[in-house]
Amino acid sequence: MTIRKMVITDYDKVYSLWLSCKGMGLNDLDDSKEGIARYLERNPETCFVAEDGEKIIGVIIAGHDGRRGYIYHTAVSPDHRGQGIGTKLVDAAMKALKDQGINKAALVCFSKNKGGNTFWEKAGFNHRTDLTYRNKAISEMKRIDT
């Protein structure tokens, strides 16, 4: 298994991986090939995949706005969980963010995603109870169920 930077030619395999994972929270705009291409263009050093041969078995989409790091759509194939792959992906992304001068990273994990929340807690990401998360769609998007 190897960890390397994600490139747009990985998209189809990454998208298939996301679809194999329950509760990813995908949508048809941000998670389209064009949406991910824009994200990778802006954040070419901070997104990673885990490969086993030709198969992508893990992914982390991370980036920053110059002040704070953000992590999106971290996933490990259900068949490969419990092997430390997610931890290695997080470590790679956090090092890349630190190398770019970022001192803190944040993420959103759905409350009902018990496995994800357990993973992030073990990875040292604290649950903030003093914040209210809000968002507003600028463009109409369709949710993609996983």
Under the banding of pLDDT at 50, 70 and 90, the label for residue 75 is very high
Q: What is the pTM of this model?
A: 0.93
8 Å CB contact between 60 and 93: yes
Question: Average per-residue pLDDT in the chain?
Answer: 95
8 Å CB contact between 60 and 90: yes
Q: Classify residue 89 by its DSSP letter.
A: H
> Looking at residue 24, what is its pLDDT?
86
8 Å CB contact between 66 and 97: no
Residue 101 pLDDT greater than 90, yes or no: yes
- Sequence letter at residue 63: G
Q: β-pairing, 2-5 with 26-27?
A: unpaired
Which domains, and CATH codes, for the chain?
Answer: 2-144 (3.40.630.30)
Q: Token pair of 102, please?
A: 């970022």
